[in-house]
A and B are shown apart, each in its own frame.
Chain A
Amino acid sequence: MAKVLMKGNEAIAESAIRAGGLCYFCYPITPQSEVAEYLSWRMPEVGGSFLQAESEVAVANMLYGAAGAGVRVWTTSSSPGISLMQEGLSYIAAAELPAVVVNIVRCGPGLGGILPSQCDYLQATKGGGHGDYRCLVYGPSSVQEAVDLMPLAFDRADRYRNPVIVVGDGMIGQMMEPVEFRRYEFPPLPSKDWATTGCKGRKPNVVNSLYLDPAKEEQLNIRMAQKYEKMKREEVRYEEFWTDRPYRVLLVAYGTTARICKTAIQKLAEQGIEAALLRPISLFPFPEEKVYELGQRAEWVMSVEMSMGQMLEDVRLAMGRTKPVYFYGRTGGMVPSPDEVVEAVKLHLERK
């Protein structure tokens, strides 16, 4: 299929439909309302279900109900709305239901602002709601990658029976880029024989997260932890940039910030400073072994983010005390320029 020019939010919507995400619940919030606007007319065309709910709290619980009934279901929102969804996401994780949630992150905390940010990294990757759970988290850095990750997100949600979060900063949602909707092939999925689809010919199914017996609750927690360990073994995704040549500095950045870092690395090369980039695509599981491996070949490592330093904690965990780990970030909706990143790198080189 030929490439088309589409806004990130609309491309995400179209990709989800093509991936069979035909049940969508939402509540408007900037900067991702275009997803809902697009789907409000597109869903009826493809025989899907679109509903604008009364709140994000309700949306997350609608996801729970539909997912529990075996329906491929998803939503999109932005930071304050995602906070409201955490109740439902915790229940979805606990009941081991598949659902896809796209967070077009804006700056915060509180009402914050509507400009791009990466300040929800910790919320997305460390659980977010109450209880001992993790979501599988992807961080696309282009509209095309967001399009490509949606079918994967639906597949992995079903395969792991776990919520999958796609974290795009406001830039990914709002910018227009050429995209191609490809055909994605996945191995067959196990049947959803646990879903509440009516008990004809079988014993009743119960979708539940209540365990009054501590031994059973612990068993659930252990089973879920095993699932996350499997993700760490099998679902790590990343991109390497200029790691095939010698480098003094390893940058770690995801999403929009990674694109800025690539330009910065090219500018640094012009000044005779060798740097490389590791771009995590899966934020949970975090590519910790790759960060360590590539980090050992550098003098030091720097996490570059649109936050005050969130992924930084994972980079530090990965590196241990083996090499210095520095941070550069802009926040509040400020997007770092390549020159700022260049200066930040040079500052640390001069300090040494």
Chain B
Amino acid sequence: MKTVFRRPESLANVATHYCPGCTHGVIHRLIAEAIDELGLRERTVGIAPVGCSVLAFNYFNFDFQEAAHGRAPAVATGIKRGRPDLIVFTYQGDGDLASIGMAEIVHAANRGEKFTVVFVNNAIYGMTGGQMAPTTMPGQVTTTSPAGRDVNLVGYPIRMCELLASLRTPGFIERVAVHHPKYIARAKRAIKQAFKYQAENRCFSFVECLSTCPTNWGLSPLKACKWLEENMMPYYPVKNFKTPEEVGSNSQALATDEPRRPSAAPVREPAARNHGEASHAG
């Protein structure tokens, strides 16, 4: 008998706590498949966020660290700088990444930290019970925007891919959706590509997954998929925003983007420093 479908080794054989119709399970599986296919499981460290996926460390079959709210990119930076041989990814929701962790994600991306970010955008705070997120759609009703998000008071939803793609440092940035098999196949390719770039020590890689939250949206799983497609996808286009090849292939277009290096005194070529006694450790 031929096996046509099985649980990836990187996925733990346990039931999750996620609500029926939630897309976290889909994304977990895509990550596990990508890591298995690239043979990275035994040197992977995942970083769980604060939010619905706070218990993600129970659902994967490799090493994990649990981070403080929004700090996963800093935790990942610490691991990757200390142990560059490890494969590190953060798994973060929209409150975690786009609100409290905005500084950490922007600077990790800008430094070109060579880890992977899986960003789950469902336009709402899930675990705390459906409050407004930085990615909540205009007019969307949440427990802290009962009359719908008023953009005159709290601004428009933040588009993280577009924001990060404006950074000069090379990286891989793509937005995908996971509400439909057609999009799930594309999401799988993007997630696998993101890990591949990391395994090759190429660049920072970031995949935003447009996701549903039937419970806090107050919709059936099926209607939630339709809501995502009709409301989120026009504002959050599903596409690739940045690939590391871009800098080489479009060098002409980006020529003016290259910051000028100051020519005066503050620029120094790396040179040996004289520090007398202290030059030999131990």
Contacts and interface: CB of A to CB of B under 8 A. Distances in A.
Interface string B70-105: 010011111111110010000000000000000110
A23 B82 contact: yes
A41 B276 CA distance: 14
A14 B279 CA distance: 9
Given A69-B79, A69-B83, A53 B74 contact: yes
B78 A87 contact: no
Nearest to A67: B78
Interface residues on A, range: 35 or more
Interface in A186-201: 196-201
Interface in A47-66: 49, 51, 53-55, 57-59, 61-66
B68 interface: yes
Chain A contact residues, majority secondary structure:
mixed
A228 B58 CA distance: 30
A198 B43 contact: yes
Interface in A288-320: none
A312 to B, nearest CB: 33
Which of A58, A71, A201: most chain B Cβ within 10 A?
A58
Given A198-B43, A204-B63, A209-B66, A63 B281 contact: no
A48 to B, nearest CB: 9
Nearest to A97: B65
A18 B276 CA distance: 15
Contact of A68 (B65, B104, B106): B65
A65 B82 contact: yes
B32 interface: no
A207 interface: yes
Contacts of B26: none
B68 A87 contact: yes
Contacts of B257: none
Nearest to B81: A49
B81 A66 contact: yes
A197 B74 contact: no
A88 B68 contact: yes
Which of A42, A66, A73, A204: most chain B Cβ within 10 A?
A204
Interface string A167-208: 000000000000001000000000000001111110011111
Nearest to A50: B81
Interface in A1-35: 1-2, 4, 6, 10, 14, 17-18, 23, 25
25 contacts: A10-B278, A18-B282, A25-B78, A58-B77, A64-B67, A64-B68, A64-B71, A65-B67, A65-B76, A65-B82, A67-B78, A68-B78, A69-B79, A71-B82, A71-B83, A196-B64, A198-B62, A198-B86, A199-B42, A199-B62, A199-B63, A200-B43, A206-B57, A208-B65, A210-B55
Interface of A: 1-2, 4, 6, 10, 14, 17-18, 23, 25, 41-42, 45-46, 49, 51, 53-55, 57-59, 61-71, 73, 87-88, 91, 95, 181, 196-201, 204-210
Interface of B: 41-45, 47, 54-55, 57, 60-68, 71, 74-83, 86, 103-104, 106-107, 273, 275-279, 281-282
The 6 closest A-B pairs by CB, nearest first: A65-B78, A71-B82, A62-B78, A65-B75, A66-B82, A61-B74
